[in-house]
Amino acid sequence: MPSNVEIKAKVSDLTQFAQKAAELSQSEGTIIRQHDTFFSCSQGRLKLRDFMNGSGQLIFYERPDTDGPKLSRYSITPTSDPQSLQVVLSEALGVKGEVKKERRLFLIGQTRVHLDTVEGLGHYMELEVVMRPEQTVAEGQQVAEDLMEKLGVSKESLVTGAYMDLLLKEHKEI
């Protein structure tokens, strides 16, 4: 199963973070709109990502809910009919919730840097260090920590869990 080392953090200054990511990636990034539906499942997380253009991905992943760099294992299957698949999976498994976001993707070395505006939550960043077969988790964590420093991401801004978890927590507190 492929894996990456991930971190997620709250972003206080969207413009400043975007400028640093653009400098490091030597690009303005790619805008991607995503509508994720999370389904109930007994282990890990299962989500259907709809790119709002007739394409999507069914994604299963497992990772610990801790802040800082952590290993995530995942499986991805593309789909050309996310709406129909969403109906079937909703009926079969039940829906845990939905996350709608606009993502700006930057590529820096072996790392996917996401600058996300999440409906109902605000601005966040994610680093996904795509692990090479010969790399150790510690090496992936070091790549993530080095990039955090270059992007000005503080340890205090790190968050645990998925956006779905944060949205469910917000909803419970209302």
* Alpha helices in 26-155, H assignment, sequence order: 82-93, 137-151
| Rounded Cα distance, 86 and 107, in Å | 29
Contact 124, 163 (CB under 8 A): yes
| Rounded Cα distance, 122 and 157, in Å | 13
Minimal CA–CA distance to 21: which of 127, 103, 109, 113? 113
pLDDT attached to residue 1:
81
Q: Does pLDDT of 172 surpass 80?
A: no
Homologous superfamily of the 3-173 domain (CATH): Hypothetical Protein Pfu-838710-001 (2.40.320.10)
Q: Where are the domains of the chain?
A: 3-173
pLDDT attached to residue 67:
87
| Rounded Cα distance, 130 and 142, in Å | 13
For the record, the structure tokens of 77 come out as 């299957």
pLDDT in tens, 65-86: 888 899 999 999 999 999 999 9
Query: DSSP class of residue 67?
Result: S
Contact 50, 82 (CB under 8 A): yes
Determine the residue type at 34: Q
Q: CB-based burial of residue 24 (10 Å sphere; 0-12 exposed, 13-18 middle, 19+ buried)?
A: middle
Q: Does pLDDT of 104 surpass 70?
A: yes
| Rounded Cα distance, 51 and 85, in Å | 13
